[in-house]
Chain A
Amino acid sequence: MRLPFRFAGQSFEALGSGALWWPSERALLVADLHLGRPDRMARRGGALLPPQGDAETLERLTAAIEAVRPARVISLGDAFDDAAGPEGLLAADAAVLRRLQPRADWTWIAGNHEGLTTPGFGTALAEWHGGGIAARHVARPGAGPDISGHYHPKARLAGRLRPVFLVGAGHLILPAFGAYTGGMDCTRAPLPGLTVPGLGIVTGAVPRAFPLR
């Protein structure tokens, strides 16, 4: 299910999975995949997480691509948990990612985790511009309109924190798309300053809007 809305004069659709469809640019945007997180934690001597986290993320990404058939996929940064992320993928996961390559043009915006990094295809950029809007990893106050990720926003509805899109006047912030990601309550600074007043869209089987006040 998708929820249509407008931001910066353009029409968008929020997907229940947390991906954003931008019909006029035929672009699918996703933020904070954090691929390679299990490998990075293990490498640093931390906990050995169930290794299927990346497979879950890639499965969801594949589903989003099949749903909208984009011309372009834009990762809004932190696609990889660090610059060594692409090499740390399990062989099967790397193969899934390679199979996705011919489905669209790929833009990998640099995040604070991986910097300018690609998995061997697509273009790594600091920012991408289209339709009068910037796509960057972190929203820049006063320099909108921009679409970004980074904060992993969540909102509490019916007692539970769920990932949300935050749609303000000048900033559109995406929820984290990766399986192994936490989140941050959207009432916590600096998020209200960026997106209030505005609209929250909670992810889930059916994305639903609620006001941000």
Chain B
Amino acid sequence: MTALPQPFADWFAARGWSPHPHQLALLEADGDSLLIAPTGGGKTLAGFLPSLVELAGSGAGLHTLYVSPLKALAADIRRNLSVPIEEMSLPVRVEDRTGDTASHTRRRQRVDPPDILLTTPESLALMLSYPEAPKIFANLRRVVIDEIHALAEGKRGDQLMLGLARLRTLAPGLSVTGLSATVEDAGALAAFMGGARVIRADPGPAPDVALLPTMALPPWAGGNGHYAAPDVMRAIEGARMTMVFINTRAQAELFFQKLWEVNTANLPIGLHHGSLGREARGRVEAAMAAGELRAVVCTGSLDLGIDWGDVDLVIQVGAPKAVKRLVQRIGRANHRYDQPSRARLVPANRFEWLECLAALDAVAEGDLDGEPRPDGPLDVLCQHILLTACAGPFDDYTLFGEVRRAGPYANLSRAEFDACLDFCVTGGYALKAYDRWQRLMLRGGLWQLRDPRAARDLRLNVGTIVAPETLSVRRRSRGGAPIGEIEESFAASLSPGDTFLIGGKVVRFDRLRETVVEVSDAGGREPKIAVFNGLKMATTVALAGRVQAMIGASHAALPAPLADWLDLQGRISALPAPGCLVAETFPRGDRWYLCLYGFAGRNAHQTLALLLTRRMEEANLGPLGFIVTDYALLIWSLDPVEDVAALLSPEDLRAGLDAWLADNALMKRSFRAVATVAGLIQRNLPGRRKSGRQVTFSSDILYDTLRRHDPGHLLLEATRRAAQHGLVDYGRIEEMLRANPRVIHAKAPHVTPLAAPMLLEAGRVAIRGAGEERLIAAEAARLMAEAGLDALDGTEIVAAQGFGGAA
């Protein structure tokens, strides 16, 4: 085993440390490595150790690039690295470069880069787009990618891997180290990096994870877990510092409020989620780092980030949804390497009780779930090609080879690459319209920007995160300090006087002024609404499958309330089990209900419900509405469904999907993201929207135009591919039908034990035949009535108002 060079060995010894075996393994590693280590394993130092050792012998120019998904992490690492560097007097300059870095610093870094640069995938893509890129990166020896498991989950990872392929061309001989939390398939993650040797750190002791004992049983339905607030409070009182994870922002707001109602000891408890203002989040993070908080209620917003050594308890309120994420969250507790992490689960309802038990089994078996990563998306490749052109001329043959060396694009065909290139050059339309104004021109066998000034706009569009449009929330009085942000569609649904929760306070919506939602304090009253839209994660295939299996097997080992519930279901109707899809129909009041236990996750169920209600509408069954959970979907209608198997025919569903895609808000949302990443529409930068009028037009117009005139267009194809996962999640419907070939139609006399909780769930979706027009007509009529104008026709309105003009 390679020994540490002397100054490093002394430094470790002075601190009473000895290097972990995986730290030494990385030091002696040749080529690319992927280090799988739990949090607190000295993972980051391990990643930097080889760089520091090499740099101690002094290098020239940029030696090591560190990429992390979080800006805050880059800043934190800089502080952490300064300790060994200063104490060993290493001649090493470390700087960070993110969206927050001042422009003069960024300019200087382009001319005089530090030895170690800490950055994000977006800032790296930007740096690679400058003509100076070959010079900046010529001496680059190492790249360290932190939290690579998180980056690999989305398009940011695809972009980063394309950037890495570029770096390998600019700096041959580069070594890449990926740092990852525990994942289900290290080999796949290594392949994502383009191939790497996997080094596993000692995973440490098995976690201590169990259900949190509660005074009351979980309720039948709902997702907020309020029944357990006193029990969670007691657990917080018994721990040093607790992270309470909860699945959505609205639930976090509500649970935070409930927790304070029972916080008799007045313990300092904070709230952290993505809709809070950056300052508010920063304050909570700083208070945690300083050990001033006893607990923080948070969402996925704290899944990543700085290690807080003091956290000794993690509580997950609500369904864990994914075993892998649960394990990673559990790892947030006890960052000390040699102690077990302690975590407690709090199911919010009976189905989630099953899911929590299933998740505990999976954790104990080390059976992490995860879906295979789809191939690299084409919109990201389009952006990469355009940004590559910003840096300088390229030839397509070389670039194709380089792109194929990026893990996510290893299977890219030349035809797909050419389609992306054609999109960048001519727009890729069937109708050739831009021969004169190609974005890229072929000169001397090399592709380059026709108009070099275009580089500025392309650089402004860098990145793959397309957030929903948000509006800032401000108090009307008190100087109007920003409280947080809400999605535009949520803001649009508010009427003056509506109250909602944000930042732990109930506020009243006063008005929407341009891009600001003005609110006033509404005291401690119950909020009318606490829903921020936002993506709800679906339970993974593997975990939902375990729940399905648990329901279908013997219930002897289950807690009595669960066993009784499922046994009753078996007597009245049918029990879902692996391989068979159970559908129930039953009457209730003057409605007929269809409950389908698909176990395909809420997104796929929502898509399926939309497709099924459409087909029911065609069959004149009078569908009126539906509701979905991760486990099932429930549709109510005027007439009963008689032939469930026919309704579920895959061919008809697929045909229906195509038609339905024509005008669907989810698809338009996916298209907007694809079109933005590919550079068809310029992203709305903060500030740009505020300045004057909105000159940009809605991406929906482009979607409709393409659907009508150019249905084979690359971006529609990319949108269809995106619809296989995520919001539309069509792939899981296909998988559900494939994995459950037997369809059981149970005709129950009345509502069944499994379906009853569905009736209590919030979030019903009404089916509207001629939807929007009717809504608009109703609102216009209401406004006219409010103004006392409803009895008058158009001609008289103006005259009655007294502004009929001078004539």
Contacts and interface: CB of A to CB of B under 8 A. Distances in A.
A75 to B, nearest CB: 19
B804 A6 contact: yes
Interface string B429-446: 101011011010000000
Contacts of B797: 5, 199, 209
B803 A169 contact: yes
Interface string B85-109: 0000000000000000000000000
B693 A152 contact: yes
Contact of B427 (A48, A182, A202): A48
B541 to A, nearest CB: 34
A95 interface: no
Interface string A171-188: 000000001111111011
> Taking each of B450, B453, B697, B777, which has the highest tally of chain A beta carbons within 10 Å of its own beta carbon?
B697
Interface string A37-62: 01100111111111111011000000
Interface stretch (A8-16, A63-71, A97-105, A118-126): A8-16
Contacts of A158: 772, 775-776, 778-779
Contacts of B701: 53, 179-180
Given A45-B439, A45-B450, A49-B427, A208 B801 contact: no
Contacts of A213: 787
A158 B495 CA distance: 10
Given A48-B426, A204-B776, A56 B454 contact: no
Interface string B480-503: 000000000100110000000000
A75 B753 CA distance: 65
Contact of A48 (B439, B449, B807): B439
A130 B90 CA distance: 82
Contact of B492 (A132, A152, A160): A160
B798 interface: yes
Given A4-B794, A47-B682, A56-B705, A183 B803 contact: no
Given A45-B450, A156-B492, A182-B695, A210 B777 contact: no
Contact of B454 (A45, A90, A156, A180): A45
Contacts of A180: 697, 701
B726 to A, nearest CB: 23
Contacts of A206: 773, 777
B450 A185 contact: no
Interface string A63-86: 000000000000000000000000
Contacts of B493: 159
Interface in B658-705: 679-682, 693-698, 701-702, 705
A209 B794 contact: yes
> Taking each of A39, A90, A199, which has the highest tally of chain B beta carbons within 10 Å of its own beta carbon?
A199
Contacts of B776: 157-158, 160, 162, 202, 204, 208
Given A9-B806, A199-B797, A43 B787 contact: no
Contacts of A162: 776
A44 to B, nearest CB: 7
A182 B705 contact: no
A39 B434 CA distance: 8
Given A9-B807, A45-B454, A208 B780 contact: yes
Contacts of A55: 709
Interface residues of A, number: 61
A90 B793 CA distance: 43
B457 interface: yes
A209 B702 contact: no
Contacts of A168: 803
Nearest to B792: A209
A145 interface: yes
Contacts of A202: 776, 780
Given A45-B454, A160-B772, A210 B783 contact: yes
B706 interface: yes
Nearest to A44: B451
B705 A38 contact: no
A205 interface: yes
B15 to A, nearest CB: 55
B492 A5 contact: no
> Taking each of A47, A50, A157, A185, which has the highest tally of chain B beta carbons within 10 Å of its own beta carbon?
A50
A118 to B, nearest CB: 22
Interface in A6-40: 6-11, 38-39
Nearest to B461: A47
B571 interface: no
B372 interface: no
Contacts of B793: 4
Contacts of B787: 211, 213
A46 B457 contact: yes
B807 A51 contact: no
A193 interface: no
A56 B709 CA distance: 10
Given A38-B433, A160-B772, A49 B780 contact: no
Interface in A132-191: 132, 145, 151-152, 156-160, 162, 167-170, 179-185, 187-188
Contact of B798 (A7, A53, A183): A7
A6 B693 CA distance: 28
B524 to A, nearest CB: 29
Contacts of A9: 804-807
A184 B694 CA distance: 6
A75 B651 CA distance: 50
Contact of B794 (A3, A49, A157): A3
Interface string B403-432: 000000000000000000000001101010
Contact of B789 (A7, A38, A211): A211
Contacts of B708: 52
B681 A184 contact: no
A188 to B, nearest CB: 6
Given A5-B798, A209-B794, A197 B803 contact: yes
A50 B429 contact: yes
A55 B705 CA distance: 10
Contacts of B369: none
Given A8-B807, A48-B437, A53-B701, 12 more contacts: A42-B427, A48-B439, A49-B427, A49-B680, A50-B713, A52-B708, A157-B780, A158-B776, A158-B779, A160-B776, A182-B698, A184-B694
28 contacts: A4-B795, A5-B795, A6-B804, A7-B798, A7-B804, A9-B806, A11-B795, A38-B433, A42-B439, A44-B453, A45-B450, A46-B454, A46-B682, A47-B680, A48-B434, A51-B427, A52-B708, A132-B807, A160-B492, A182-B695, A188-B514, A198-B803, A202-B776, A204-B776, A208-B780, A209-B780, A210-B779, A210-B784
- Sort A-B residue pairs by CB-CB distance and give the 4 closest, nearest first: A9-B807, A48-B427, A45-B454, A45-B451
